[in-house]
Structures are given as C-alpha cells and as structure tokens.
Amino acid sequence: MSDARREPWPDPSPEPQYATMAQQAEAASFGMWVFLATEVLFFGGMLLAYAWARGSFPAGFAEAGRHTKIFIGSVNTVVLLTSSFTMAWAVNAAEHGRRRPTAWLLAATALLALLFLALKGVEYHQEWTEHLVPGLNFREEGPNAHAVELFYFLYFMLTGIHGIHVTIGIGLIAVTMVRAWRGAFSERYYTPVEVTGLYWHFVDIVWIFLYPLIYLVGRSGP
C-alpha cells in the first residue's frame, strides 16, 4: 500500500473478456446505466403511489405540503446540485489524469452529501416534534387528517429511500476518493470515478423531482 502511495499504479491492461480498455470502460458504464434503469422503476412505484394519492386528495396534499420545511428543503437542493457539480468536475479531473484534484473534488462531493444528510436529520427531528410521523407519533386534526398522514407516509418512504441512496453514495465516493489519492487512476483508467459519478448524478436527479413534489405542493394556496 505504501508503494502505491509513492508511485502511480502501472497502466492497467483489460480483463481477459475485453479486447481494449475502452471496451471495458464502456461495458462498465453500460452496466451502471442498466442498473439506473431499474432504479427508475424502483422509485417509479413510489412516485405512482404519490400521483394517485395526490390526485385523489388534492386538498389534503396541499395542506400537508405547507407543513414541509421549505427552507431546509431548498438549501438541501442547492447542496445536492452543487455536489453533482463537484462530482462532474472530479470525473473531468480524473479523465485528464489529475489525481490530487480528483481526490479533493470527490472529498468535497462526499462532504456536501454528509451536509445533505445532516440537514435532512434536522428536518426529520422537526417533523417528529410536530407530530408528523405516521405510525409513530402522528397527530393531526381536521377533515384532511388522513390525507395529510398519507402524504407524510409517502414523504418518509421517498426521502428515506433516497437518503439510503445518498448514504451508499457517500461510501462509494469515499472509497473512490482514497483510490484516487493513492494514484489508482490515470487518463487510461478512471472507470470507477465515472461510474460512481453516474450513480451520484442519478441520486441528484431523483431529488430534483422529489423537491417540487414534497416542498412546493400547495404553496400558491391559502
């Protein structure tokens, strides 16, 4: 390990099933895109449930949406969009063989992701104290109480599973960062940075759609 620190790893040759490094890189990125297609459907089922519930109980969803913490939600969107930017920059640095910038940019991405989770935690805590957690301490009055509960059930499911994806992303980015720092990547081989980036941008895209569905509901109403 200490040798690897001093000297970049030798230029890798492709695994036996590939003819060239380019073909191997393309297969890896294709594999990630296929996985992301399944992820679209994984979140799709929950989004369908949301669409049905919102279409069925528009007044309840508008009321529930006004309970969401729009300031934290908006700041978190800025955080996640910025983390996607630093991730794309890291991939760019990696493809030019700039290994220390790659590692620093990956570190920035992981720190922004941690900040996202921390703010999400603050938000969950506020929702807990306001008795908005279905099944555990939900307490809401009025004719729309059940629809508000349904909204918060979907909210915790969607943001919870998104949060798990963010957590997995932090792990992937951290491992990739250490490898980049130790010089595992070069202009010829940076596939792990690229594939981790694809995953991270997907997590960002999910949030891009969750943001209006959660925080912007019912804002133009009374």
Partner 1 sequence: MKSPSPKGLPRALLLTWVALLALLAATLALAYVPMSGPLNVAVALGISAGKALLVLAVFMKLFRASALTRAAAAAGLFWLGILFALAATDYLTRTVEPAGELSAPTGRNLPAEGR
Residue ranges binding partner 1 (CB under 8 A):
26, 29-30, 33-34, 36-41, 44-45, 48, 51-52, 55-57, 60, 70, 74, 77-78, 81-82, 84-85, 87-89, 92, 95-96, 139, 141, 144-147, 149-150, 197-198, 201-202, 204-205, 208-209, 211-212, 216-217, 219-221
Compute the distance between CA of residue 126 and CA of residue 130 in angstroms, rounded to an integer. Answer: 6
> Quick one: 2 or 135, whose CB is closer to partner 1?
135
User: Can you give the length of the chain in residues?
Assistant: 222
We find the least distance from the C-beta atom of residue 4 to partner 1, in angstroms, to be: 25
**Contact assessment for residue 196 and residue 113, using Cβ atoms and an 8 Å cutoff:** no
We find the least distance from the C-beta atom of residue 216 to partner 1, in angstroms, to be: 4
- Burial of residue 151, with CB atoms counted within 10 A of its CB: 0-12 exposed, 13-18 middle, 19 or more buried: buried
> Quick one: 5 or 42, whose CB is closer to partner 1?
42
Compute the distance between CA of residue 207 and CA of residue 111 in angstroms, rounded to an integer. Answer: 17
Give the DSSP H or E segment for 88: helix 70-95
Alpha carbon separation from 129 to 123, 126, 133, 138 (Å, rounded): 10, 5, 9, 10
We find the least distance from the C-beta atom of residue 200 to partner 1, in angstroms, to be: 9
We find the least distance from the C-beta atom of residue 166 to partner 1, in angstroms, to be: 16
Alpha carbon separation from 154 to 5, 104, 151, 191, 205 (Å, rounded): 47, 36, 5, 35, 18
> Quick one: 56 or 129, whose CB is closer to partner 1?
56
Residue 210 region, left (φ>0) first, then alpha (ψ -120 to 50), else beta?
alpha
We find the least distance from the C-beta atom of residue 172 to partner 1, in angstroms, to be: 16
> Quick one: 9 or 85, whose CB is closer to partner 1?
85
> Quick one: 51 or 178, whose CB is closer to partner 1?
51
We find the least distance from the C-beta atom of residue 47 to partner 1, in angstroms, to be: 8
Phi, psi (rounded to 5 degrees) for 130: -90, 10
> Quick one: 88 or 111, whose CB is closer to partner 1?
88
